[in-house]
A and B are shown apart, each in its own frame.
Chain A
């Protein structure tokens, strides 16, 4: 469960991967503003949690695994990495809900920078706590059956 920095993926990601994420993020932010203008803040607000970057991240991850591993194993390796990424995003989305609740409670009552700073802190805290709880629960869960022993026994 030890967290660490790994700079290797930075070298593996092509420069256009970063540009693509910048463009996708920029387009989604601009589109969210247009939706809010056209349909009001209630509908526009829904798109603040639109999953625009997550599919893009999965696509980049898939490509990276395809380049690293050849043959029949590559699909399965990308799939397993995708499952891990999706689990992380599900945990992160609990943090997004915390962000939204704090932003809703503080925007208009405190300075915008302070309100958004508190909301970001809530996202980081809740997402990290959920990740730790999930990891601990998986550790304490039932261990897989020994090799050669049928699970139904």
Chain B
């Protein structure tokens, strides 16, 4: 329970800080970089390495490569959906979340599962 609370506080603080930085920058295409800042990863990897060691955290980082590729596909799809179909940005982002899940699952099946 304490571990979860620590993760909540540390992760929340880092995410809010990176998001605040993103709000401050102009042009907005640059500010968008902070929407994909590795704030959750920094918090999680730091706490995991402290608790279970660096080698264990490195395994998580390896999977993050796949998650990052899925994020690239997801963000591209959200941009394309808004460009071609229009609609509300939040709705497009929510609908495309399934794509992130699908791409991550495919990456896990093709690369990570084999070890």
A residues neighboring B (CB under 8 Å): 3-7, 9-10, 13, 18, 21-30, 32-34, 36, 41-55, 57-59, 61-62, 75-76, 78-79, 81-97, 99-101, 103-105, 107-110, 112-113, 115-116, 119-120, 123, 127-128, 131, 135
User: Are B64 and A22 within 8 A (Cβ)?
Assistant: no
Given contacts A95-B36, A108-B58, whether A27 and B8 have CB atoms under 8 Å apart is yes
Closest 3 CB pairs of A and B: A88-B32, A29-B11, A25-B15
Dominant SS among interface residues on chain B? helix
User: What total of A-B pairs shows CB separation below 8 Å?
Assistant: 338
Dominant SS among interface residues on chain A? helix
Chain A residues near B54 (CB, 8 Å)? 107-110, 112, 115
User: Are B38 and A96 within 8 A (Cβ)?
Assistant: yes
Chain A residues near B4 (CB, 8 Å)? 30, 33-34
B residues neighboring A (CB under 8 Å): 3-5, 7-16, 18-20, 22-50, 53-72, 74-76, 78-79, 82-83, 86-90, 92-94, 97, 100, 104, 107-108, 112-113
Q: How far is B54's CA from A11's CA once the two chains are assembled, in angstroms?
A: 41
The contact of A49 among B27, B68, B108, by CB within 8 Å, is B68
Chain B residues near A119 (CB, 8 Å)? 38, 42, 61
Q: How far is B38's CA from A40's CA once the two chains are assembled, in angstroms?
A: 20
17 of the cross-chain contacts (CB-CB < 8 Å) are A3-B27, A24-B15, A26-B7, A29-B43, A33-B3, A33-B48, A36-B44, A45-B60, A46-B112, A47-B67, A54-B75, A75-B88, A90-B76, A92-B35, A96-B41, A97-B65, A107-B55
